Amino acid sequence: MAETIRIAYLYEDLMNTYGDSGDVKILRYLLNQQGYAVKVDNISLGHPFDADDYDFVFFGGGQDYEQTVVAKDVPRLHDTLHKYIEAGNPMLCICGGYQFLGTYYKMVDGTSINCLNLLPLHTVFRPEARMIGDTEYETEWGTVRAFENHSGCTYFDDKDKLKPLGKMVEGYGNNPEDGVEGMRYKNTFGSYSHGPILKNHNIANAFADMIVKRHAERTAAVAEA
């Protein structure tokens, strides 16, 4: 019987803008090709969640309304996600999910959504700076091509702690000023790349490798318990 890799999709029913679920489908395919079964759980409003039970956590994008709904529920996930992230386990957050890693998201009307405050970054909606179109950037795994569509500008509050996912070649990335796309902290990644991002086989394979490593460590720990 094939071993089962477990993936947590945070708020799949609310945070799935521009087909971000494609990232999870691609990972399922790659992991199936390696002989693993894959179980994906939608962790939505009020659902119990312990990140220690999973080999990968995914958080997709959403519009402002959906983000205000999620913002009322997501604080309860803080402690378990903090432990998971600090342990170096793999997590990918796209657009709105990326913004939720930070301290706040200031919306177009000037009000702010309190985010998870897991990492030192914040986002400000800038209606005059709509960032839409094809995007290309260089990462440690090579070139990534996708598309972006956002007015939220994300800024790092601690550039020593957070590193960009990539350096822009085309497009805007995090904001119009910094020339970088996304974020990496340990094995937690944020990105504004839709399309989905993991259609790029180089970075998809890198995530699959991280997930397999996490799975081996998690199942070994369970066996020893």
Lowest mean pLDDT among 61-70, 130-139, 158-167: 61-70
Average pLDDT, integer, range 104-118: 92
Q: What pLDDT is stored for residue 43 in this prediction? A: 97
Residue of 95, 115, 122, 215 marked active site? 95
Confidence of residue 82 (pLDDT cuts 50, 70, 90): very high
Is 93 catalytic? The answer is no
pLDDT in tens, 175-197: 999 999 999 999 999 999 998 99
Is 95 catalytic? The answer is yes
Spatial strand order in the sheet of 112-114: 112-114, 104-106, 121-125, 152-156
Indicate the pTM of the whole model: 0.96
Q: What pLDDT is stored for residue 77 in this prediction? A: 98
Dist CA 67 CA 79 (whole Å):
20
Cβ atoms of 102 and 123 within 8 Å: the answer is: yes
- Residue 40: which CATH number? 3.40.50.880
Structurally, the chain folds into a number of domains equal to 1
Residue of 122, 150, 194, 215 marked active site? 194
Lowest mean pLDDT among 12-21, 65-74, 161-170, 172-181: 12-21
pLDDT reading at 222 higher than 90: no
Confidence of residue 217 (pLDDT cuts 50, 70, 90): very high
Average pLDDT, integer, range 126-143: 94
Q: By residue range, what is the domain housing residue 12?
A: 4-224
Confidence of residue 225 (pLDDT cuts 50, 70, 90): confident
pLDDT in tens, 15-65: 987 778 999 999 999 999 999 999 999 999 999 999 999 999 999 998 888
Average pLDDT, integer, range 6-12: 97
Q: What pLDDT is stored for residue 97 in this prediction? A: 96
Q: List beta partners, residue 8.
A: 41, 57
DSSP letters along the chain, please? ---EEEEEEETTTT--GGGTHHHHHHHHHHHHHTT-EEEEEEE-TT----GGG-SEEEE----HHHHHHHHHHGGGGHHHHHHHHHTT--EEEETHHHHHTSSEEE-TTS-EEE----SSEEEEE-GGG-EEEEEEEEETTEEEEEEEEE-EEEEES-TTT-B-SEEEEES-TT-TTT-EE-EEETTEEEE--BTTGGGSHHHHHHHHHHHHHHHHHHHHHHHH-
Q: What pLDDT is stored for residue 64 in this prediction? A: 80
